[in-house]
Copies of this chain bind each other. A is one copy, B any other.
């Protein structure tokens, strides 16, 4: 089903094997793609595999040419797809709930923290606005949001959002920070200010973690993800347009030979 299979955790009969199907890179079908939810659940499950409560199998599927058995089983469903004991879970919210309720050790990841939950929930939509509008006002809104996250990290003084160990919020936030960093810089020269020291320290710790580095797409894949989105948007727009033909003339040139 895939060219790239990462395994982690013990594969003996003591712990259940969980399979996560993720989207491949749109540049090279053998690489991991820049799918935020794929990376988020990859990180959640990687942490559980490190704790040896599960054995994790990650399968990469190239959606530009999905293998026949993938199409047979899942038709038009896109990854992430979680497979647990023969049961395929296709929707993001259900995957999250399944990890929390049914995957051994999962409940420990789902810390209750309303402040953090509401702080990070609209961050990503601000990046999308920056990439679409490309104006300084939207960049300033994104920067202000990052400043609030920086302030919380500074105030709490913990290594991660809710303490010194990772939780579901970290698995949600960090892939989005990486997209902001890489795509923001590439498309609109947006940079996370170096004055956000607590935020950079947070990212520094993330960059040391296997759960992040094993699941993280290449910069080029992040960039290409947004390029393709923009190209598709353009194409859709153009398909709806009535074709026009520029054949007007900006000057008076009528019948010069009749002069």
Task: Mark A residues whose CB is within 8 Å of B.
Answer: 27-28, 31, 159, 178, 181-182, 194, 197, 200-201, 203-204, 207, 213, 216, 218-221, 223-224, 227, 231, 234-235, 238-239, 241, 243-247, 249-251, 253-254, 256-257
Q: Chain copies in the assembly?
A: 2
**B200 and A253 contact, CB distance less than 8 A:** yes
Give chain B residues whose Cβ lies under 8 Å from the Cβ of A257.
Answer: 159
Chain A contact residues: helix, strand, loop or mixed: helix
The contact of A243 among B218, B247, B249, by CB within 8 Å, is B218
What 7 A-B pairs have minimum CB-CB distances, sorted nearest first? A218-B243, A201-B253, A207-B247, A204-B253, A194-B251, A204-B249, A27-B238
Closest B residue to A191 by beta carbon equals: B250
What are 22 pairs between A and B in contact, CB < 8 Å?
A27-B238, A27-B239, A28-B239, A31-B243, A159-B257, A194-B250, A197-B251, A200-B249, A200-B251, A200-B253, A201-B253, A204-B254, A207-B247, A207-B249, A216-B247, A219-B244, A219-B246, A220-B238, A220-B243, A224-B235, A227-B231, A231-B231
CB distance from A43 to the nearest CB of B (A): 15
Closest B residue to A243 by beta carbon equals: B218
Closest B residue to A201 by beta carbon equals: B253
Give complex CA distance A219, B194 in Å. Answer: 46
The contact of A246 among B181, B239, B244, by CB within 8 Å, is B181
The contact of A224 among B159, B238, B247, by CB within 8 Å, is B238
Give chain B residues whose Cβ lies under 8 Å from the Cβ of A235.
Answer: 27, 224
Give chain B residues whose Cβ lies under 8 Å from the Cβ of A221.
Answer: 243
Closest B residue to A32 by beta carbon equals: B243
